[in-house]
Amino acid sequence: MLTEIWPFAEARHEAGRHVVLARLVGRDGPGSRPLGATMAVADDGTWRGSVSGGCVEGIVLAEARLTLAGATPRLISVSPGEHLMPWEEAPACAGALSVLLTPVPPDPVRTAITAALAADEALALRIDLRAPYGWSVATTAEALTGPGAGGDAYFLEELRPRARLVLVGATDLAAAVADLAVTLRRVVVVDPRADHARDAMFPAGTTVVRAWPDEWLTAHPPGPHDAVLVLTHDPRIDDRAIRAALGSAAGHIAVLGSRTTHARRLARLADVPGLDRLAGPAGLDLGGTSLAETALSMLAEVVAVANRRAGGRLRHLTDPIRCHPADSVVAP
């Protein structure tokens, strides 16, 4: 999606490089990437992102470099099988892909995208699918629908604020979780202890707050897309956090601890409404023991719950592998 490659595209633009965006705006068959998937190709030879997960990236790179060399922006159709020899087996993503090649949009659209992503604010983007392939932005998608300068053929994408991941306890485990999660969610670490709540141990982009978690969660109530992980292993802090989190609309609430510790916790909190929502011990069964593996297990559960999945092995499942978000629209 655009959000995946925008930091790269913006950094190259700020460095004075020309950047072309290749955006997947249509497909007539199966594919591994959702509509809106984007590659950013810079004139220094570097690039980021993909439109198919590997099947047509070589073709798209060549087309993007032609655009950097002066070819006009255009909508192309590429097929993973178009360069195969007769004896070669067709790839799984065999459908034709519609890819729009345009430079990074000029201001004020470019600065609006950068500002929205930096502030985690919603923004709707429209790209006309007829020359001159103009971009427009608004706070809502409804404001961008209907015929425009490019007619009634356009691609619409909504940039939505990232969900929050609240980590209760500024611990080494919380730092490991934040390292993995900071590109996926807005990460907030809450800890009342002065010698724990320090920015230095957490990755850039993490918000560290020195406060009692129940007070902070009451003042900043989590929503249904947010998750709370309680990690201090100190009942004086954890129990207050759990009570507050269960009183909110948080979509996932999990707590660190062994099964024995969790049984004692449930006994202490037996009077708390919604206790069945509490996941403990936190995480998926990955069998890991290191700090990084434990953090991965916990974050994997957060992702699985958000996508309404059980977290089993893909080889044992029959459901579609990916849950593509319904945030992109192509108007005929």
Q: Are 328 and 37 in contact (CB under 8 A)?
A: no
Q: Is the dihedral of CA 145, 148, 153, 159 positive or negative?
A: negative
State residue 311's pLDDT score: 87
The percentage of residues in the chain with a pLDDT greater than 90, rounded to a whole number, is: 66
- Selected residue with higher pLDDT from 176 and 311: 176
Residue pLDDT, tens place only, 55-73: 788 889 999 999 999 999 9
* DSSP code, position 34: -
Name the average pLDDT for the chain: 88
* Polymer length in residues for the chain: 332
- Phi and psi at residue 100, to the nearest 5°: -100, 125
Residue pLDDT, tens place only, 152-186: 789 999 998 899 999 999 999 999 999 999 989 99
Residue pLDDT, tens place only, 1-25: 888 899 999 999 999 999 999 999 9
Sorting pLDDT into bands at 50, 70 and 90, what band is 332?
A: very low
CA nearest to 32, candidates 324, 307, 316, 312: 324
Name the helix (H) or strand (E) containing 66. helix 57-68
In which order are the strands placed within the sheet that holds 97-103?
A: 47-49, 38-42, 19-27, 97-103, 74-78
String of DSSP letters for 260-289: HHHHHHHHHTTTSTTGGGEESS-S------
Q: At residue 309, does pLDDT exceed 70? A: yes
Residue pLDDT, tens place only, 98-121: 999 999 999 999 999 999 998 889
What is the mean predicted confidence (pLDDT) over 82-107?
A: 71
Q: Are 87 and 80 in contact (CB under 8 A)?
A: no
For Cα atoms 106, 107, 112, give the angle at the middle one, nearest 5 degrees.
115
State residue 56's pLDDT score: 83
State residue 57's pLDDT score: 85
State residue 327's pLDDT score: 43
* DSSP code, position 28: S
Query: How far is the C-alpha of 295 from the C-alpha of 286, rounded, in Å?
Result: 11
Q: At residue 35, does pLDDT exceed 80? A: yes
State residue 315's pLDDT score: 83
State residue 266's pLDDT score: 94
Sorting pLDDT into bands at 50, 70 and 90, what band is 32?
A: confident
DSSP-derived 3-state class of residue 22: strand
State residue 81's pLDDT score: 59
Q: Which of 139-148, 200-209, 290-299 has the lowest mean pLDDT?
A: 139-148
Residue pLDDT, tens place only, 198-248: 778 899 889 999 999 999 999 999 999 999 999 998 999 999 999 999 999
String of DSSP letters for 130-165: STT--EEEESSGGGG-S-BTTBT-EEEEEE-PPPEE
CA nearest to 282, candidates 322, 244, 238, 248: 238
Q: Which domains does the chain have, with CATH numbers?
A: 1-104 (no CATH), 107-161 (no CATH), 164-306 (3.40.50.720)
Strand 47-49 and strand 38-42: pairing? antiparallel
What is the mean predicted confidence (pLDDT) over 248-263?
A: 94
